[in-house]
Amino acid sequence: MKDQFFIVNGTVLPEIFGKIIEVKTLLATRKVKDITEGVKKAGISRSVFYKYKDNVFLLSEMSRGRKASISILLDHKPGALSKVLDLMAGNQANILTINQGVPINDAAMVTMTVDISDMSIDIKDLIDKLLLEEYVLEADISAME
């Protein structure tokens, strides 16, 4: 099933989702130094936090969705990064930063921060398109603002 997003009143959701938001807020406001401290303060386990952290957002987080940090593992072949950049430009994703690691075992990690406010497609669809590229071994959203 394709990812779908819903706006749901928090009062009908399981309490755990509120605790995930609590941890994310504590981290964003730097009231805790790390995830371990945040989950302890919220009273949940780290595994529960990691299970849901990329799928539970406040409406304000989703409406702000202007920047995304994307991690891509590329096959170490000439033109691989160029193809990724062309795909990003073709979907109106404006690259703000890009960092490429040294290739290890014929694969290089690329992390980029992208302005997604003017994109012609959804961020999830962009990741799906990246995964279809010949030289892209892995692609994932690391963070979103």
The strand pairing partners of 73, in sequence order, are 109, 138
Per-domain residue ranges for the chain?
10-63, 65-144
Predicted pLDDT at 48: 94
DSSP, collapsed to helix, strand or coil, labels residue 92 as coil
What pLDDT sits at residue 57? Answer: 80
Pick the CATH number of 65-144 from 3.30.1360.120, 3.90.1150.10, 3.40.50.300, 3.30.70.260: 3.30.70.260
DSSP per residue over 2-59, as a string? --------GGGS-HHHHHHHHHHHHHHTTSSSSHHHHHHHHT--HHHHHHHTTT---H
Residue 62's pLDDT is what?
Answer: 53
Closest to 70 measured CA to CA, from 98, 49, 104 = 98
Which pLDDT score is estimated for 127? 93
pLDDT of the chain, 145 residues: tens digit per residue: 566 777 788 889 999 999 999 999 898 888 999 999 999 999 999 999 999 988 888 765 554 457 889 999 999 999 999 999 999 999 999 999 999 999 999 999 999 999 988 888 888 899 999 999 999 999 999 888 7
In whole angstroms, give the CA distance from residue 133 to residue 145. 25
What are the tokens at 84? 């990724």
